[in-house]
Structure 1
Amino acid sequence: MPDTSLGNQIFDLDFHPKEDYVYTGLLTGEIKALKYDTDGSCQHMFNIRPTKRSCRGLAIDTFGKSLWAISKDKTIHIIDANSGKIVDERLAAHESPLNRVIHLLPNMVATGDDDGVIKLWDPRQSDAIREYTQHFDFISDFLWLEDKRQLVATSGDGTLSVMDVRINKPEPLAHSEDQEDELLSIVGIKGNTKIVVGTQLGILSIFNRNKGWGDCVDRIPGHPSSIDTLCALSGDVILAGSSDGLIRAVQIFPTKFLGVLADHGEFPIERMKLDRNAKWLGSVSHDEVLKLTDVEDALEESDNEKTGDEAKTGDGDSDGEAETEEAGLGDVSPKKQINDDESDVSDSDGDRKKKKRRKKSKEAMGSRKKTDTAGDKSFFADL
């Protein structure tokens, strides 16, 4: 299916929960809404520009009525998802540029900024209803755990924190140990009993909710570049978007590299999400296009190929769990690795830097273990 060029770098996207609409936030501050057809082709619905600074994040409510947009100028705009009209705004919502937003409940939204501050918002009130300050570096991603009404946040300071939104206190319910690497993305698997976190050095860290949030229970190496975004394709298969431009399908427990699902060239993957029917995977990068990839039959093809070798890491439930770095994915990059420092993007008018990631030394970047294990690259070969 053809990619849809939007004319500038795209930072985030979100799908409508009830209609075949997708919304994108751009470097220029524009928000472009598109309608996609059964073949993945897109038609423009509306284009607005509530701010001249970059739109860094989007989140639509569960009813598909209100679209929350956050920007570098520290402003939150609430937009009618059908007409594109701005219905409300929060000026100077944070003291630092905003980086992430997520819709939690019908009347609760969370935002995170470049200095690690997290705020909870009620759309019916003008001011934030709660503020958390346990992090000191940028908030990179959020995960909502519906069963316990808990919000999990990952940060560039190397830790994740868990907040129970039912408790009217500014302290988190739990705060992990320093993982000695920037945490960039997060997704739940196996009914959210286990949590997968993507890191700057390309390691997938596994947290087990039944064993607490203090430290990860497993680590799966193999990605040659940072894992900037994660998405769950099924209960045990995740999609990992890396700064080398590839979106890889990885099965967890047992661990197996299934194949490359999509390719944005050598441009880092910014964000990716599944639509309401889990048919289309939307992904955006620095190549200025919205890519829709059909994943409806991907797992059926994967089931037919499960006779291949699997690199097992255990299920993370045994006593005395240890880091399983020797049983990683191997070198899963089918093309030359690029320098992670060169993958940083900018949302300023001049030099295009999006996040305040701390640069890693060459020694740290070169310390990752690599194996000669080859993944099954025939998966998704027909896509």
Structure 2
Amino acid sequence: MPEIPVGAQIFDVVFHPTFSTVYTGLLTGHVKAFAYDEQGNHQPTFSVRPSKSSCRGLSLDGDGSHLYAVGKGKALYTIDTQTEDIDSRAGAHDATINRVKHLMSWLLATGDDDGTVKLWDPRQRDCVRTYTQHFDYISDFLWLDDKRQLVSTSGDGTLSVMDVRSKKSESVAQSEDQEDELLSIVAIKGGAKIVVGTQIGILSIFNRSSGWGDCVDRVPGHPMSVDALCNLPPDIPNVDAASTILTGSSDGYVRAVQILPTKLIGVVADHGEWPIERISIGGGHGQLSIERAETSADKVYSSKIGNQTDENHQDAEYQRRWWVGSVGHEDVLRMSDLEGFFRDNEGGEAAAKGALGVDVSGGEDSDIDDDDEQEDVSQELPNPSTDGAAAAEGESDSGDGSGQDSDEEEPQPATHKRKAGKGLPLNAVKKKGRNTVAVERSFFDEL
């Protein structure tokens, strides 16, 4: 598993849509970019520091020419990925900005720690619209292109739906209080169903045709909070990409999970004791990214990775490889070979057992009809660790809306690997504070 050291704690990671370049937002306020090849070799391409405060969120536009960055400084920064020029909108929010997402060529969204969501037109200086239906931090965004709707999740326990075509500054739908912090969100099955990660470790399933009032399924199994969710590329072999997602949990594991029927395929990455902050997938385009001969700083980005010319690109054959970039509360970006993982887990029984060697397939879960009543899914995901200890408290800025942010990197404890186990902590008890979940120790006594 290749690792890219960045020198500070990483809060967000995004991949360029067409080139082999990955961007990271750091605690120190730096935004660093790295080029990589199909073997996972890497080299830095640029490093900018729009703000001395931490960078909490990143988002690229459709062609990767502009990178949007937000953070504790309450400003919205637009970084030209070719020239490294930075355009700043100071005071974009009254509170620390937690998330940013590019929606369309003329629209992007930001969400802050007070629950305010703003829409921006990159061609204008002022925001287009402001929404205030949430009262706690915005944790994630989901863009539904077919309806031109933006879905936001919040620490107040609700998700809301905003129609960007409406001129009203109010949401068109908002869920009931889910009695738990909603931390992450993705769409599956062609956008028909929505998966939401929660503080207690439950995956809540919303059915769009049933409305947004309440979830229709609940998938337990993660022993700690599910802070990050990520869809798979549609052309990944040996897997149903429409119903399989990657989950990042506070127990340090990145898992591949199939939803409806529910099945753990395996563990994609292990960060030891570090909680997973964000997950992103990039690559698969079969070309290298360091094509720039000169920049405004007269730098030449050419190396063993990126010195190919256009003629060399035409003659050479590059392996298509999808990489999973995952970040925890550490100063390295972990790169995992996604196709290699599913190739190793190919086959009926092998796929059911996943990476743990434990049969978790059980019976098949059937999808519910739109008019069915709400029910819990009995299928649970196995826990790959027998360590049920709570995640470390007192962590630095985790983008949870606490506002306790430090621009200096704090020393972190050494990591260690955990033994795989067959158990699932059934009795998880939520404590005060984010990423702190206690597990009944009696469950592990018999293991």
Q: TM-score normalised to the size of structure 1?
A: 0.89
Alpha-carbon distance, 1:361 to partner: 8.1
Percent of paired sites with the same residue: 54
Q: Note the C-alpha offset of 1:344.
A: 4.4
Residues 150-299 of structure 1: pairs in structure 2 closer than 5 A: 150-233=149-232, 234-277=241-284, 279-299=322-342
Structure-2 change in CA distance of 1:276 and 1:343 (3 Å): farther
Q: Partners in 2 of 1:366 and 1:314 — Cα distance?
A: 31
Q: Are positions 1:348 and 2:420 aligned together?
A: no
Matched, 1:24 2:75: no
Structure 2 residue 174 is matched with structure 1 residue 131 = no
* 1:276 shift after superposition: 4.7
Match runs of 1:74-93 below 5 Å: 74-86=74-86, 88-93=87-92
Q: Flag the 1:211–1:29 CA change in 2: closer, same or farther, 3 A.
A: same
Deviation string 1:199-250 (CA, Å, 9 cap, x unpaired) is 0000000000111100000001110000000011221111110011110111
How far off its partner does 1:335 sit?
4.2
Shift in alpha-carbon separation, 1:167–1:42, aligned structure 2, 3 A? same
* Offset of residue 85 of structure 1: 2.1
| Alignment deviations for residues 253-310 of structure 1 (CA, whole Å, 9 cap, x no partner) | 1101111110111111111111152711111111210111110244444441357433
Distance 1:367 1:41 in 2: 39
Give the equivalent residue in structure 2 for 1:320.
372
1:223–1:333 CA contact under 8 A, matched in 2: no
Letter in 2 for 1:283: S
**Cα RMSD (Å):** 2.4
SS at match of 2:393: helix
Q: How many residues are paired up?
A: 364
Task: Give the CA deviation at 1:325.
Answer: 4.8
CA distance in 1, matches of 2:247, 2:56: 20
Structure 1 pair 43–366 and aligned structure 2 pair: CA distance change class (3 A): closer
Counterpart of 1:337 in structure 2 is: 388
Q: Which amino acid aligns with 2:213?
A: G
**1:341 Cα offset (Å):** 6.0
1:327 Cα deviation after fit: 2.4
Select the residue among 362, 375, 379 that pairs with 1:310. Answer: 362
Judge conservation of contact 1:175–1:214 (CA < 8 Å) in 2.
Answer: yes
Distance 1:165 1:318, change over 3 A: closer
Select the structure of larger CA radius of gyration.
2
Secondary structure at the aligned position of 2:190 is classed as coil
Work out whether residues 215 and 374 of structure 2, in 8 Å CA contact, stay in contact via their aligned partners in 1.
no
Runs of 5+ unmatched residues, structure 2? 233-240, 285-320, 353-360, 398-404, 411-429
Q: Which runs of 5+ in 1 are unaligned?
A: 353-357, 373-383
Q: With structure 2 as the length reference, what TM-score do the two structures score? A: 0.77
Q: Using the alignment, how far apart are the partners of 2:367 and 2:90 within structure 1?
A: 46
Q: Secondary structure at the match of 1:191?
A: helix
Q: How far 1:50 moved relative to its partner?
A: 1.2
Give the letter for the 1:89 counterpart.
Answer: S
Aligned residues of 1:208 and 1:316 also touching (Cα < 8 A): no
Q: 1:40 to 1:316 in 2, by over 3 A?
A: farther
In structure 2, give the amino acid aligned to 1:13.
V
Q: Is this contact kept in 1: 2:223–2:437, CA < 8 A?
A: no
Are the equivalent residues in 1 in contact too, given 2:58–2:69 (CA < 8 A)?
Answer: yes
Superposed, 1:138-153 pairs within 5 Å as 138-153=137-152
Distance in structure 1 (CA, Å) of the matches to 2:91 and 2:159: 25
Q: Is the 8 A contact 2:224 2:437 kept in 1?
A: no
Q: Which residue does 2:288 correspond to in 1?
A: none
Whole-angstrom distance in 2 between the partners of 1:149 and 1:142: 13
AA matched with 1:348: S
> Could you tell me how far apart the structure 2 residues matched to 1:78 and 1:155 are?
25
Secondary structure (helix, strand or coil) at the match of 1:342 reads: coil
Greater RCO, CA 8 A, separation 6+: 2
- 2:76 and 2:90 in contact (8 A); partners too: yes
Q: What amino acid does structure 2 have at the position aligned with 1:7?
A: G
AA matched with 1:147:
D
1:89 is displaced (CA, Å) by 1.1
Mark the CA change 1:210 to 1:344 in structure 2 (over 3 Å): closer, same or farther: farther
Question: Which amino acid in the other structure matches residue 160 of structure 1?
Answer: L
Asked whether the equivalents of residues 68 and 76 of structure 2 are also in contact (C-alpha less than 8 Å), the reply is yes
